[in-house]
Amino acid sequence: MPLIALTGGIASGKSTIARRLAEHGAVVVDADAIVREVQQPGSPVLDAIAATFGSGVIAPDGSLDRAALGARVFGDESALARLNAIVHPAVRKESAARFSAAFAADPGAVIVYDVPLLVEARVDDPWDLIVVADAPAAVRARRLVELRGLTAGEASARIAAQVSDERRREIADIVIDTSGSIDETVAATDALWERLQARG
């Protein structure tokens, strides 16, 4: 059964789609959760981040100070490239292990990789299907302000820092329009699930 990449910009409704697919029985592998795991205190990844960016990115309890690291790499392409060179291989290895484990447990599983940085890091992987959650930047900015408490300026900066919506749509096999209500997004996700079952 298929290995699906699910991506979308910040506040695009990607998590709503992932949750609904999980309710249908898909195995959802969360790239952000893997990133946090491979950066745990004592991990080779965290040690390499500290060696590269200095002890200022490590919190007093020994964990990664995400805000401090973010401030170091935001808007600095070379710094971000150095960080990605440390983190992405570890995430790739761990995600591959989880895909293999899920298929071993259930050869008929539908595996969904919930991955924000697909275009930037994993677009050439052998996905059976790439699904993009898509909503206009203005809609996503409003959600960031109303649901996450960002200022309008912060919301615009977050969206501008990500790859463009056009780039995501270019690589999509399926685009789910998430600009409407949650119920509409869920209905579109249900239609996707039916299509996956028909393929299987």
Query: In this predicted model, what pLDDT tens digit does every residue of 7-48 receive, in sequence order?
Result: 999 999 999 999 999 999 999 999 999 999 999 999 999 999
Report d(CA 46, CA 68) in Å as an integer.
14
Strand-by-strand arrangement of the 27-30 sheet: 27-30, 111-114, 3-8, 129-134, 174-177
Mean pLDDT in the chain?
92
Q: What is the pLDDT of residues 142-151, one digit of tens each?
A: 999 998 898 9
Percent of the chain scoring above 90 in pLDDT: 76
Q: CA 65 to CA 56: how far, in whole Å?
A: 8
Above 70 in pLDDT, residue 1?
Answer: no
Mean pLDDT of 126-130: 93
Asked whether 29 and 113 are in contact (CB, 8 A), the reply is yes
Domain 1-26+110-195 homologous superfamily, CATH: P-loop containing nucleotide triphosphate hydrolases (3.40.50.300)
Sequence ranges of the chain with CATH classification 3.40.50.300: 1-26+110-195
Confidence tier at 160 by pLDDT (50, 70, 90) = confident
Q: How confident is the model at residue 62 (pLDDT cuts 50, 70, 90)?
A: very high
pLDDT, position 70: 86
The model's pTM is 0.89
